[in-house]
A and B are shown apart, each in its own frame.
Chain A
Amino acid sequence: MMFLSLKHLLTRKKQSVLILLGIIIGTSAYVAISGMMLGFQTKLMDQLVNNDAHIRISAREELLTSESLDSFPEAEHVFWSLPPSGRKDSAKIQYPLGWFEKLNKDHDVIAFVPQVNINVIFNRASVTVAGRMIGADPLKQERVSNIQQYMISGAFKDIGTSGSRIILGKALMQSLGARQSETILITSGKGPSMPFKIVGVFDTGSKNIDENTVFTSLGDAQKLRGSPSEITDIAVKIEQPDLAEIKSAEWKTSSHEKIMSWQESSASILSVFKTQDIVRNSMTISIIIVAGFGIYNILSILVTQKKRDIAILRSMGFTPNDIVSLFFNQGLILGILGGVIGLGLGFIICFLMGQIEIVPGRMGSSTGRMIISYDLIIYVKAIIIALLSSLFSSIFPARAAGSLDPMDIIRSGGQ
Chain B
Amino acid sequence: MIRAQGLIKTFEGQQEAVLKGVDLSLNDGDFISLMGRSGSGKSTLLYLLSTLDRNFEGSVLYDGVSIKEMGVQEIHRLRNEQIGFVFQFHYLLSELSAIENILLPARKANLLDKKLSFARDLLEQVGLSDKADRLPHHLSGGEQQRIAIARALIMQPKYLFADEPTGNLDSKNGEIIFDLFSQFNKEYKTTIIYVTHDQQFGMKAHRRILINDGIIDKIS
Contacts and interface: CB of A to CB of B under 8 A. Distances in A.
Interface of A: 3-4, 7-8, 10-11, 308-309, 311-320, 322, 406-407, 410, 413-414
Main secondary structure of the interface of A (DSSP, over half): helix
B96 to A, nearest CB: 6
Interface in B106-122: 107-109
A312 B80 CA distance: 11
B148 to A, nearest CB: 9
Interface stretch (B87-95, B175-183, B187-195): B87-95
Contacts, number: 65
Contact of A407 (B52, B72, B83, B105): B52
Interface of B: 47, 50, 52-53, 55, 72-73, 76-81, 83, 85, 87, 89, 91, 93-96, 104-105, 107-109, 151
A317 B77 contact: yes
B91 A312 contact: yes
Given A407-B52, A414-B89, A317 B81 contact: yes
A322 B108 contact: yes
Most buried by B among A8, A309, A315: A315
A319 B52 contact: no
B76 A315 contact: no
Contacts of A313: 104
A11 B95 contact: yes
8 contacts: A308-B91, A311-B91, A316-B79, A316-B104, A316-B108, A317-B76, A317-B81, A317-B105
Nearest to B81: A317
B175 to A, nearest CB: 25
The 6 closest A-B pairs by CB, nearest first: A317-B80, A317-B79, A7-B95, A312-B91, A11-B95, A315-B85
B95 A318 contact: no
A316 B111 CA distance: 14
Nearest to A305: B94
Nearest to B44: A411
A271 to B, nearest CB: 54
B52 A318 contact: no
Most buried by B among A8, A316, A322: A316
Contact of B73 (A7, A316, A319, A414): A319
A230 B79 CA distance: 94
